[in-house]
Amino acid sequence: MEQGDERMTNARQGPVLQLRSMPQPITNQPDVQPTPATARPEANLPPTGRKRRKPNAKGNRKRSEVWDHFNIIPNSDPETAACKHCHQRYGCSSKNGTSNMKNHLMNTCPIYPFSLKNDRTQTILKFPSTEGADLVAVTARFDQLDCRNALAVYIILDEKPFRTVEGEGFKYFCSRMQPQFSIPSRRTIARDCFKLYLEEKIKLKALFKSDCSRVAITTDCWTSVQNLNYLTVTAHFIDREWKYQKRIVSFTTVPNHKGETVGKKLEEVLKEWGLRNVSTVTVDNASSNDVAVAYLKKRIKNMNGLLFDGFGFHMRCCAHVLNLVVGDGLKDLHPSVSSVRNAVRFVRSSPHRAAKFKECIEFAGIECKKLVCLDVSTRWNSTYLMLAAAEKYQAAFDKLEDADASYRDYFDDDESPPSNFDWENVRAFVKFLKYFYEATIVFSVSTEASLHTAFPHLATIFIELKKSANQANDNRNTSRDSASSVVEAASHVQTAVETTTQLARENAFQNHLKVIDSVTVETELQGYLKAKNIEFVEKFDILSWWKNKAVEYPILSQLVRDIMPTPVSTVASESAFSTGGRVLEVYRSSLKPDMAEALICTQNWLRPSFYQFKAMEFDEEYEICEDALNGLVGSSAASGQPSQSQPSGCV
């Protein structure tokens, strides 16, 4: 290096100017020297080993940022520059300009990390957002349309209002995450969401056509805060990979909830989606649904879409049936339940009473750490959880009755603190109610609340009900009862075999299977019934078993695919235990019906691709709250300070 060049290099000042759309990269090219700048920011120095360029006619020097990535080749004629990354050469005379070099950087350079071409071919490993998923390769290329589509997915999945994109915090986040992203307006993102709905609808129609031979549907009615009547229709099916699927196909307004109106709307929805073969319709116990199902059954029969002439077409919602059974039980035990409820309400009414109750717990030597919490009148599962926790503290409540006169005075004249008789009733009721609670959890929370998951719980409830009925009659002849039970069981088995044979024969005919004669159907069924039972598995996947046996039992496996998706419940997880009406929340009620349907349906269609939703139940919430409170109490005890974060009355 010459002495003059060295002095000028040491005197370099000022940052190199950059384009907003092309950030300055750091290159590691050992054979290419960076172009130094002069003491004046507006001037560029030539690289070592060549003469300094003279200014052009206007006295301006080349200041384009592309010169951070190109070196002028000395003594080249015509004047040529080489890319520092890939050494590709381009003319750089005043006649050529720098557009060709900039185009090379952004579109054709195979090494420059910000090149669009490089982004199309080079990928990076991305850690999965869901537990258990594998690493995936994704492109690093920025795509405005792809980002807008991802934003629409975010709005839909997380139920965000469209005005989210106009929030200052959201804008700041996007500016830091991806400065190149041009944030759309709320009207634009609303159009993007509706466009995504139309695209996903086309995909779902194609899925129904290729992977679904028959569907089971559920329908339920909702009301918005604007008193608009909404009808939701959900299709349930098992695809060719033997995976249980359910998709909301309609969430639309209806003028009223009358049976004929609902039936016509259901027919309209099925025709729109091209769904002709329907196995069952699951509805709640409203009388209007009887009219709706009868109307729909007649229409589908005319299209030859019924299975076994409509056998079992009308299914009752098991969750509603269980609610009715539990409601009757609560009425019969109301005095005992009310007495325990008032006792719990007393210890929750003030911190002083809660502290007194804790002293009684310690005196009684009770080590249970469950929270004693009050129930909600419209949610019987909370009543079950309240009773299940309270009965473990009977000794503490009895001690409180002796030690605190205000506890006795808390009850009205016609009531009293829980007696031994009340506690015995509560224990018996809790033991029996546990089966209903577990069954309702499965019916309403599970993503596969269909026949194959519901049957074990329904069978358990049936056995317990029958056992209780037998125990209630002490004078009954036990041997005669056992004999009649055997005969009754054998009759049920014979009826099930005959019904299955007829179903399999008709189902094989409707699905155009080659072998449909009666002998073949009966032979396959008898072979299945005589097959060796499999060993007990805690979490047995019956759909995977049938997938593996589809070749051995082609007729029965097709029947399973058509019948097994039958849902046993119509209610959502958040209202499974509620006796109140289902009301559409405020945000979605403010939308136009078409947009509300687009958001709700698309969210349902996209969720299986992103995550499996799991609702948190009340007992889980109690356990989490209990752990948090125990941690606060423990830390306070260690420090010698009382806890100020514990809610009043929570024990």
Taking residues 497-502, what's their average pLDDT? 65
Q: Cα–Cα distance between 644 and 632 in angstroms, integer?
A: 9
pLDDT digits (tens, 9 = 90+) for 149-204: 999 999 999 889 999 999 999 999 999 888 888 999 999 999 999 999 999 999 99
Is pLDDT larger for residue 281 or for residue 55?
281
Buried b or exposed e, range 305-317, using 16+ CB within 10 angstroms: bbbbebeebbbeb
Residue 617's pLDDT band, with cuts at 50, 70 and 90, is: very low
Instruction: Report the C-alpha dihedral over residues 19, 21, 23, 25, rounded to 10 degrees.
Output: -100
- Residue by residue, what is the 3-state secondary structure of 393-404? HHHHHHHHHHHC
What are the CA-CA distances from residue 144 to residues 141, 150, 168, 179 (Å)?
Answer: 10, 10, 20, 11
pLDDT digits (tens, 9 = 90+) for 545-583: 999 998 888 888 888 888 888 888 876 434 444 444 455
Q: Cα–Cα distance between 200 and 333 in angstroms, integer?
A: 51
Is pLDDT larger for residue 94 or for residue 603?
603
pTM of the model: 0.65
- Furthest CA-CA distance within the chain: 120
Q: Is 265 exposed, middle or buried (0-12, 13-18, 19+ CB in 10 A)?
A: buried
Say whether pLDDT at 528 is over 90. no
Q: Is 602 exposed, middle or buried (0-12, 13-18, 19+ CB in 10 A)?
A: buried
Residues of the chain with pLDDT > 70, as a percent, come to 68
Q: Cβ–Cβ contacts within 10 Å for residue 256, how many? A: 11
Q: Cα–Cα distance between 77 and 284 in angstroms, integer?
A: 87
Beta strands 80-83 and 89-91, pairing class: antiparallel
| DSSP, res 419 | -
pLDDT digits (tens, 9 = 90+) for 270-322: 999 999 889 899 888 888 889 999 999 999 988 888 877 787 888 888 878 88
| DSSP, res 591 | S
Tokens 């235990």 found at: 577
> Per mean pLDDT, which range of 284-293, 328-337, 368-377, 504-513 is the poorest?
504-513
CB 248 within 8 A of CB 233: yes
Instruction: Please tell me the total number of residues recorded for the chain in this structure.
Output: 651
Q: Cα–Cα distance between 316 and 313 in angstroms, integer?
A: 10
